[in-house]
Structure 1
Amino acid sequence: MTIESVAPHERPVLPPADLAPMLELSHFLAEHAEPAALLGPDGEQVPLPMELYQVLVQVVGAMREGKAVTIAPLNQRLTTQQAADLLGISRPTLVKLLNENQIPYEQPGSGRHRRLRLSDVLEYKDRRSVERRLRLDEMTRQAVEDGLYDDDGASYRDLLDSARHEG
């Protein structure tokens, strides 16, 4: 596998069609907390640094789940379309977030094209995930306080419909 300096989603590495070797490697990595060594075709061994070992564990875990993987430096610059794709939102929605100063960006030179750092996009994604979790926890707490979990499904649907019509 060659790692090139390209935009994050331009050269994804797809998981193999046969996931059995990936599952075997995943189990091996799960059983060994310390990094091993790389073994070259000539028998030469090179110790694997812990940081690279941690990346390997994450890559194998993602591929085991059938996900494609791309490796990019955090200072990688993204176009607005690339950032929108990474966040799973439309480009106009991303532009709205940029205009609201939700995510930092740069406009190189006098051009109108914006560029975002991968690290800033990932930070926003993490923030959004935490905010969603907090809102869900609050909604769950409120539902428990309101006794909604004690009602049957039909009563819950009636209450939900009622709340929707009031709003």
Structure 2
Amino acid sequence: MTTTLRHTVLPPSEVGDNAQVAALADLLASTGQTGHAKLIGPDGAEVELPAELYRLIREVAEALAQGKGVTVAPHDALLTTQEAADLLGISRPTLVRLLTDDEIPYELRGRHRRVRLADVVDYLDRMRADRRRALNEMTRLAHQDGSDEIVIEDLQTR
């Protein structure tokens, strides 16, 4: 069964709360990645945090401190085409073209397409890897033909 539960947190609107989030983000950033972190509940119960969860808390606090909203969703969450397009930073029609071209898998729920968050993340990872390979190839070719050493002096822009 696919979970569609998502939870979005917006940055605090109260100045005092925003200052607390900023202070937490600064504290978490200054502690680094070493050692063990513990979470203490309101009842005083303590639990050690796994490193990955601690990193996630750091990233959430940093984003909120910068005034950004944060959405936490399970990797198997189903997204609408608009949500997936927004996540990729593309238009919905462009996303639909990627779906129909089998670049990203999707499911049909009635007449509506749904895209797994994991598949969107996989697509992003593939695109990053493709860009990295293309850039490495361009760098190799430029070095090979010597064009990486060309200096354009007094280049004027605008």
TM over 0.5: yes
Q: Aligned residue for 2:103?
A: 102
Q: Which runs of 5+ in 1 are unaligned?
A: 158-167
Aligned 8 A contact 1:80 1:115 in 2: yes
Structure 1 pair 155/98, CA: closer, same or farther in 2 (3 Å)? farther
Q: Aligned residue for 1:152?
A: 151
Q: Aligned residue for 1:24?
A: 27
Q: Aligned residue for 1:122?
A: 121
Q: How many residues align?
A: 147
Structural RMSD (CA): 2.8
1:13 equivalent to 2:10? Answer yes
Aligned 8 A contact 1:26 1:60 in 2: no
Q: Aligned residue for 2:81?
A: 80
Q: Which moved more, 1:90-99 or 1:16-25?
A: 16-25
Deviation at 1:68, TM superposition (A): 3.4
Query: Within 5 Å, which residues of 2 pair with 1:23-102?
Result: 23-28=26-31, 30=32, 33-60=34-61, 62-63=63-64, 67-102=68-103
Aligned 8 A contact 1:148 1:156 in 2: no
The aligned amino acid for 2:42 is P
Say which SS state the counterpart of residue 39 (structure 2) adopts. strand
Deviation at 1:90, TM superposition (A): 0.8
Q: Which runs of 5+ in 2 are unaligned?
A: none
Structure 1 pair 87/54, CA: closer, same or farther in 2 (3 Å)? same
Query: Counting strand residues as a fraction of each chain, which structure ranks higher?
Result: 2
Deviation at 1:39, TM superposition (A): 1.3
Counterparts of 1:137 and 1:106, CA distance in 2 = 35
Q: Which moved more, 1:12-21 or 1:47-56?
A: 12-21
TM-score, normalised with respect to structure 2 = 0.77
Say which SS state the counterpart of residue 141 (structure 2) adopts. helix
Q: Percent identity?
A: 46
Counterparts of 2:75 and 2:127, CA distance in 1 = 18
